Amino acid sequence: MIEEENLATEVNEKLLSAHRSIVGALKLVEERGSERELQAFRAGAVNAAGHLFGLLLRPLWQARPELAPEGLDMSPPPKKKGKR
């Protein structure tokens, strides 16, 4: 992941800002959209926020734990049981 401290800090801030934007957009749709619009938008927003976390923020925070929000559990996710 990103090794240079200042660059990692800046990238972290941008990614957190993107996450806040997704949450803010979802709140707008919750306040002013129809139930149908909300259901459709929520699915996409949750997907986008999840990918942002799983693909970018988590690896960044694992490489640079000092950037992770305080109290965040960074232990690996539980292993999925395979189908039998």
Domain extent, residue 46, equals 5-66
Contacts of 16 (CB under 8 A, 6+ apart): 57
What is the number of domains present in the chain? Answer: 1
Joined together, the tokens standing for residue 43 give: 């699915």
pTM for this predicted structure: 0.81
Please indicate, yes or no, if residue 56 is contained in any of the structural domains: yes
Please indicate, yes or no, if residue 71 is contained in any of the structural domains: no
Q: pLDDT confidence of 30, banded at 50, 70, 90?
A: very high
Q: pLDDT confidence of 84, banded at 50, 70, 90?
A: low
Please indicate, yes or no, if residue 11 is contained in any of the structural domains: yes
Residue 83 vs residues 51, 77, 79, 80: alpha-carbon distances, Å: 24, 18, 13, 9
